[in-house]
Amino acid sequence: MNIDSIQNGIVIDHIKAGSAMVLYDLLHLDTLDVSVAIIKNVNSRKMGKKDIIKIDADIPVDLDVIGYVDPDATINVIKNGVLAEKKSLSLPQTLTNVLRCKNPRCITSCEQELPHVFRLTDEKTKQYRCIYCETKANG
């Protein structure tokens, strides 16, 4: 398989195998009018298998979303065909409008304009809770 290199854009690398499509959906990459390559189950010495997403445009990506899906992923910013910047991620402390509160009694159910904000409550289990009603996220 041959995937062309990109001249200016973003490469999300070291994604846990099978998680690329989740990122694709959460980052709304389907709305972009540029080439996006999703490479699944690539052999990796470090991880065994991994996924990679290549975006052929220098666009802002939500690092919190990527950190939530896979805090071990890396972001490579490519400019003029060379690696210009490499970013490491961690679990975000808060997530806004990434998860939706499922509690029907939560204020976000009746106040539609309120943002859905979740706070990291347990880093070991990657558990997030709604800041309004403390309901656990189903993520």
Give mean pLDDT, residues 78-106.
92
Q: Contact, 97 vs 113, CB < 8 A?
A: no
- pLDDT tens, residue by residue, 67-89: 999 999 999 999 998 899 999 89
Domains contained in the chain, CATH given? 9-88 (3.30.70.140), 94-130 (no CATH)
Q: Long-range contacts made by residues 88-93, C-beta under 8 angstroms, separation at least 24?
A: 89/63, 91/67, 91/120, 91/123, 91/126, 92/63, 92/64, 92/67, 92/68, 92/120, 93/119, 93/120
The predicted structure's pLDDT at residue 115: 94
Average pLDDT over all residues of the chain: 91
36-53: burial string, b at 16+ Cβ within 10 Å, e else:
bebbeebeeeeeeebbbb
* pLDDT reading at 1 higher than 80: no
pTM of the model: 0.85
Both tokens assigned to 85:
């910047």
Q: How confident is the model at residue 6 (pLDDT cuts 50, 70, 90)?
A: confident
For residue 3, what pLDDT is reported? 65
